[in-house]
Amino acid sequence: MIRYLTAGESHGKGLSIIIDGVPANILISPEDINVMLGERQKGYGRGHRQKIEKDKVEILSGVRFGKTTGNPIGIFIKNNDFENWKGMMSVEPWAGQVKEYSVPRPGHADLTGGIKYRQKDLRNILERASARETAARVVAGAIAKKVLKSFKIEVLGFVTSIGGIGTATVEGLDINKITTMIAATEKKYSADLRYPGKNVEQIMALIDKTKKEGDTLGGTITVLTSPLPPGLGSYTQWDKKLDAKLAMALMSIQAFKGVAFGAGFAYAGKTGSEMHDEIYYAQKQGFFRKTNNAGGVEGGMTNGNPISVSAVMKPISTVMKGLSSADIKTKKPVKTVYERSDICAVPAAALVAEAVVAVEILAAMQEKFGGDELNEMKLNYENYLKYVANY
């Protein structure tokens, strides 16, 4: 089953990723992955760093003659910015003057990381806690998406609000429709927002205003899949529940503070008869639902609907105007130091969310249909779909 580990610091040499358990015989080219990496770098409200980086993968192992072999896939992404940080981020001891980072930013891992790992230069914490690491997650997601495509399963992450402004009503819409809406918005306003709703100018104005004020913004995103076969995941044990796995994957994204499936927190104020997705049967379709309040998961299992899961990203914690903090060396009150940052990274986060969801869906598919080799998986998948149609 697919699983991965990442390594690398934001201004170090680069990011490494080992992706284990990818089925054999998947056609993979660096370009398949680079396209998604390029998408992650976009977004209205991104900072100067993205002009320095041109994220591209170097595939080190696990792919031969353009196809996966079933071996672990090793991948490297170079950090162009390392050229500017060679001394400060040197692996070897460095004779130059190290400017230590001693003012922890509220909202970031700085302070607790420093305490936990007994570090007095908080750069050792912030470099790894940085959301630069999400480029590596997108690599795993791009490969997972390529495998899922063989099963005609698509996964799309998009923005539903930024800074409290959002009118993305996408209920009942499928991935193709939402993709078209996003493309139309991006063309009309020449802004990469990954947002299919209205009030685009208002969102852009808010990002501009927030930038001027030296502040940052968060927002909400949704990840939607194609309809999935029923029975991925399981109700039989807490750690087999697919919604639990997806929630963990999403909550592991830097700056994410909450996750909800389908109608999510709106369940709280409604009755059971208003909310539960009633069950129908038609010979052509088999069992089906007319609504998807559950977000495609019941009892920790896919129920035949698309998965729809939303999450909230907090505003970025590197704030230009500074926040109150205390220097870990002098213990004196100080304002946080501003080096450089994004104002809003919600569009990029939507793509990262898409990536981590794709990985979990693929893992669940492999658990159900066998994960060694693509054609074997397909045979098992088609056989299961026939069984479900006749259930």
Helix, strand or coil for residue 205? helix
At its nearest, how many Å lie between ligand EPS and the CB of residue 55?
Answer: 7
CA nearest 27: which of 175, 153, 145? Answer: 145
For residues 69-78, b (16+ Cβ closer than 10 Å) or e, as one string? ebeebbbbbb
Nearer to ligand EPS, 222 or 336 (CB): 336
Find all residues with CB under 8 Å of 214, minimum gap 6, and list them. 319, 320, 321, 322, 338
Six-digit token string for 114 = 């420093």
Nearer to ligand EPS, 9 or 298 (CB): 9
Six-digit token string for 130 = 């940085």
At its nearest, how many Å lie between ligand EPS and the CB of residue 52?
Answer: 8
CA nearest 125: which of 116, 134, 135, 133? Answer: 116
Per-residue x/- marks for ligand EPS, 306-345, CB under 6 A? ------------x--------------------xxxx---
Transcribe 279-307 into DSSP letters.
EEEETTTEEEES--TTTTEETTEE-SSEE
Per-residue x/- marks for ligand EPS, 45-84, CB under 6 A? --x-x---x-------------------------------
Q: Cα–Cα distances in Å, from 111 out to 9, 232, 257, 289, 328?
A: 17, 40, 19, 48, 8
Alpha-carbon gap, residue 70 to 57, rounded angstroms? 19
Per-residue x/- marks for ligand EPS, 129-148, CB under 6 A? -xxx-xx-------------
Stretch that binds ligand EPS, among 124-132, 139-147, 214-222, 283-291 (CB under 6 A): 124-132
Does position 128 bind ligand EPS by CB under 6 A?
no
Alpha-carbon gap, residue 270 to 289, rounded angstroms? 19
At its nearest, how many Å lie between ligand EPS and the CB of residue 237?
Answer: 35
Helix, strand or coil for residue 335? strand
At its nearest, how many Å lie between ligand EPS and the CB of residue 224?
Answer: 23
Nearer to ligand EPS, 84 or 176 (CB): 84
Stretch that binds ligand EPS, among 66-74, 126-134, 142-150, 371-379 (CB under 6 A): 126-134
Nearer to ligand EPS, 41 or 222 (CB): 41
Six-digit token string for 379 = 């045979």
At its nearest, how many Å lie between ligand EPS and the CB of residue 318?
Answer: 6
Six-digit token string for 300 = 């920790």
At its nearest, how many Å lie between ligand EPS and the CB of residue 254?
Answer: 6
At its nearest, how many Å lie between ligand EPS and the CB of residue 330?
Answer: 23
What percent helix, strand, coil does the chain show, rounded to 5?
35, 20, 40
Nearer to ligand EPS, 39 or 154 (CB): 39
Size of the site for ligand EPS (CB under 6 A): 15
* Footprint (CB under 6 A) of ligand EPS, residues 193-222: none
At its nearest, how many Å lie between ligand EPS and the CB of residue 283?
Answer: 50
User: Where do contacts with ligand EPS occur on this chain (CB under 6 A)?
Assistant: 10, 47, 49, 53, 130-132, 134-135, 254, 318, 339-342
